[in-house]
Amino acid sequence: DVKVTQSSRYLVKRTGEKVFLECVQDMDHENMFWYRQDPGLGLRLIYFSYDVKMKEKGDIPEGYSVSREKKERFSLILESASTNQTSMYLCASSFSHSGNNEQFFGPGTRLTVL
């Protein structure tokens, strides 16, 4: 089975802190994604990566950055956390070849910024 793991299920940080959310997948997927999920808004794509050291902005990249130094690991970074970044963060991964872009999701990290 594909497994996508996220470093924390729950995280509480203070405004202005630098926050790292880690995601690891074990299926040798080329693509990895970070979404945030908010009530009534569904999932919104923050950033994605289709290869090591490659990254692309999604729909809401402001206030976030990412890092992909190894194929299996994709990190989301909040340089200076703000209260409006309190949310559920979901990581996903998928194969790159055409015809199969099913995404596999991790369990999520619920981040609270005080």
Of 82 and 103, nearer to other proteins (C-beta) is 103
Shortest Cβ 66–other proteins spacing (Å):
13
Of 16 and 107, nearer to other proteins (C-beta) is 107
Shortest Cβ 15–other proteins spacing (Å):
25
H, E, C per residue of the chain: CCCEEECCCEEEECCCCCEEEEEEECCCCCEEEEEEEECCCEEEEEEEECCCCCCEECCCCCCCEEEEEECCEEEEEECCCCHHHCEEEEEEEECCCCCCCCCEECCCEEEEEC
Binding interface with other proteins (CB under 8 A) = 4, 30-31, 33, 35, 40-45, 48, 50, 58, 90, 92, 94-108
Of 11 and 43, nearer to other proteins (C-beta) is 43
Shortest Cβ 16–other proteins spacing (Å):
28
